[in-house]
Amino acid sequence: MDWGLSSTALPCRLPMSVSCLTRRSLLWGFPALAWSAGNVRAQGAASASKPERPRVNVALGDSGALYQLPLMVAAQLQYFAAEGLDVEFHEYNGAGPVQQALTKGTCDLAAGGLENAVMLRQRGLECQSFTLLARAPQLVFGVGTRALPGFRQLAQLRGCKIGIAAQDPATHWFAKQVMSRSGLGPDDVEYVALASPLAAVVALRDGEVSAIAYGDPLISLLEARGDIRVAVDTRLLRSTQELFGGPMPGGALYATAEFLQRNPRTAQGVTNAVVKALKWLQTAGPSDIVRAVPEVGQQGDRAVFLNAFEKSREALSPDGVLSDQGAQNLLRLMDRYAPATHPARLAADTVYTNEFARRAKQRFQA
């Protein structure tokens, strides 16, 4: 779900016209956040434990995903600054460039799907998740209202084409799981990789695909336009449980094991700020969100964003802690749909650590 933007791009409006749907118009405003987070410093309010590295660079491989909202809030409400941290965000087009940024030291941390940390470990980079951002994938399977106006059940998709995000393999696994639970085999449908949100809109409009597996903000926009009917929604915990047979984690903050070992106070400061933001988001109202994230509030259709947030709120982690069952379920899913990554060879507890999140949870009573 990466829009492929550079870190210098400016936030744009979110127009409802298909002709105006560019990659930039589907970004929730992280370029502006990179400036604001990097220029707000603590004014005598830093934690007693001074971070080893007060300046932290965070790689975003899935910019625009709603699980990154806690990062926005932590920056805008100066939670990072209160921990003595100067945080900047950098956008990359997918997991590959993020791996390069972490390997070369261009970035210290990354925010992305937990599966990215698993795949990086399999590629030889010892990564660990240390703060869970979303406790559900926040992906949606939507059926096109033009392609199947009389849609009643997923079995009707036999012989159809399903759109998935080209840069996000998790959407492919998600779609395969949906089809499997619906009694359809791998040869019963065809998967079409869509290069961008704009490509997804056009594919649905032109009948190139009959259904789509994607995340917000695109899904909420398509819902608002009446272009899709939601069939499976993992923004909801109950739907996630039903689809995967248990918890399935979504976005997370991760870093190399070396960084976490050498900079524990820095990692703790980042986690403190994010967990505080996660707790704030549990009860924040629409007006609170708009005030806390002004760049988002000024988008072309504020209602679409707020609707997306409300639907995804329960999927956000309340405390940054990842359950072992969730990690195990993810490894099993990857072993089933991405066996080349050999996730079964990994022990679940090597993929993540809750050391920092548990401390933050206790501190903020999250």
190-194 and 139-144 strand pairing: unpaired
Q: Which ranges in the chain belong to alpha helices (H)? A: 30-39, 69-76, 79-82, 95-104, 114-122, 169-181, 197-205, 218-225, 237-244, 257-262, 264-283, 286-292, 294-297, 302-312, 324-337, 348-351, 355-364
Instruction: Tell which of 171, 203, 233 closes a domain.
Output: 233
238, part of any domain: no
Domain harbouring 204, CATH code: 3.40.190.10
Looking at residue 180, its amino acid is S
Domain check: are 74 and 129 in the same one? yes
Residue 85 to residue 109: CA distance in whole angstroms = 13
Same structural domain, 212 and 322: no
Establish if 260 belongs to a structural domain: yes
Residues 143 and 123 in one domain: no
Burial class of residue 287, CB neighbours in 10 A (0-12, 13-18, 19+): exposed
Question: Can you give the pLDDT at residue 21?
Answer: 44
**40 and 108 belong to one structural domain:** yes
The stretches in the chain having pLDDT less than 50 are: 1-29, 31-36, 38-47, 296-298
pLDDT digits (tens, 9 = 90+) for 146-170: 999 999 999 999 999 999 998 889 9
Last residue of a domain, one of 178, 199, 233: 233
Q: What is the pLDDT of residue 344?
A: 63
pLDDT score at 294:
65
Task: Show Cβ contacts of residue 180 under 8 Å, excluding neighbours closer than 6 positions.
Answer: none
Q: Which domain holds residue 339?
A: 18-136+249-364
Does the residue 166 lie in any domain?
Answer: yes
Tally of domains in the chain: 2
d(CA 125, CA 292): 35
> How many CB atoms are closer than 10 A to CB 195?
12
Give domain status of residue 5, yes or no: no
Nearest to 168 by CA among 216, 232, 224: 216
Q: Do residues 132 and 24 both lie within one domain?
A: yes
Are both 257 and 280 inside the same structural domain? yes
Does residue 114 fall inside a structural domain? Answer: yes
Q: Domain boundary at 180, 203, 233, which?
A: 233
By the 8 A CB rule, do 56 and 99 touch?
A: no
- pLDDT for res 63: 67
Do 340 and 193 lie in one domain? The reply is no
Q: Domain check: are 122 and 197 in the same one?
A: no
* Contact (Cβ atoms closer than 8 angstroms) between residue 164 and residue 193: yes
In the numeric block, the tokens 């703060």 are attached to 131
29 closest CA partner among 318, 331, 298? 298
Residues 224 and 256 in one domain: no
